[in-house]
Amino acid sequence: MIRIKKILCPIDFSPAALKAADYAAALAKNYGAKIQLLHVIAPVAYYEYGLSPVDTIKAMEEASEMKKLVTRLTAKGVSVESEMRTGDVRDETRRSISAAKPDLIAMGTHGRRGFARWVMGSVTESMMRHSPVPVLTISAKETITKPVFRQILVTTDFSEGSADALAYAVSIGETAKSKITLLHVINRLTVEIPDTYRDMLVAGAQKELSNLILAAATSTSHIVTRVEHGVPYRIILRILRTEKPDLLVMNIHGKGMIDRMLVGSTAERVVRAALCPVMLIPPMMKKAKAVSKRRETKRSA
């Protein structure tokens, strides 16, 4: 069972970030979790005794916005804490993660400076590449502000972390009695697939999907499998448009760590265009096993 006790929500007060905060608050209420709001002021310039006058005024204005946001989310029945830092946004966000130790990070996909800034190294992209915990992304175009999980789509390339992604979807789906679709896309860009081998490849993929389900599912899980051919991110986005799932869960490890660092990977392309919330899961089970092993070693010492 996945437990979410603390959700970190980086805020720049953009429409996407505010939607992410509302969504995170509703999710926190479902799980009995706390919200940690984080706003980082990236100063234009430092003076000898601190921020420039322009940055000082900006900090005061944004402190007022943060106070209003805390009041609004608290009124929803959620425990909310807030923090404001000064410095590089990515560095300070990572420091906050280390200090707060959240179970989930919820954030908008587009900041105040628009789409171009997000594509070229924004905080969201940085979290996708380096976050040690799951990241939930919300688009400014998303119309739903409360978590509804009637249909969950889980994608897998059978790499490390696939079982973790399905485990999260199953845990969420058990409470909501969701229909879960486990999808694998046979990538025609990676290898040309002669028609004579298509059935064999599909059968092999279906077997691997079934093995994942056996490892992660419980008797209350309702999971169907699906195998498609094509360019993975295009197939995923097409399914999101036509079938409108309430949540997309993706493993962000890829075939290797190199994939996770490439701008333009499947996960990044999907997040840029997805209209539903996307939950990105880094490999978690290996870490959990390592922690458990250390605890057992301490007890036996």
Give, for all 301 residues of the chain, the pLDDT tens digit. 678 999 999 998 888 889 999 999 999 998 999 999 999 887 655 544 455 555 565 667 788 899 999 999 999 999 999 999 888 888 899 999 999 999 999 998 865 544 434 333 367 777 877 788 999 999 877 777 678 899 999 999 888 788 889 989 998 888 778 899 999 998 875 556 666 777 788 889 999 999 998 887 665 568 999 999 888 999 999 999 999 999 999 987 644 444 444 445 788 889 888 989 999 998 765 554 444 444 444 455 5
Query: 């420039």: which residue's tokens?
Result: 52
**Which conformational region is residue 136 in: left (phi greater than 0), alpha (psi within -120 to 50 degrees), or beta?**
beta
- pLDDT for 61 equals 78
* Rounded Cα gap, residues 40 and 76, in angstroms: 24
- pLDDT for 50 equals 54
Phi, then psi, of 48 in degrees rounded to 5:
-55, -35
Segment 188-192 long-range contacts (CB within 8 Å, at least 24 positions apart): 188/229, 188/230, 188/231, 189/231
The structure tokens listed for 141 are 């175009």
- pLDDT for 120 equals 31
**Which domains does the chain carry?**
6-138 (3.40.50.620), 151-290 (3.40.50.620)
Candidates 266, 238, 263; CA nearest to 252 is: 266
- Chain centroid to Cα 246, Å, comes to 14
- pLDDT for 241 equals 94
Helix (H, G, I), strand (E, B) or coil at 281: strand
Beta bridge partners of 187: 230
Q: What residues contact 188, with CB distance under 8 A and at least 6 apart? A: 229, 230, 231
Number of alpha helices (DSSP H) and beta strands (DSSP E) in the chain: 11, 12
H helices within the chain, ranges in order? 15-31, 53-74, 89-100, 115-119, 123-130, 162-176, 195-216, 232-243, 257-261, 266-273, 285-300
H helices within 75-177, ranges in order? 89-100, 115-119, 123-130, 162-176
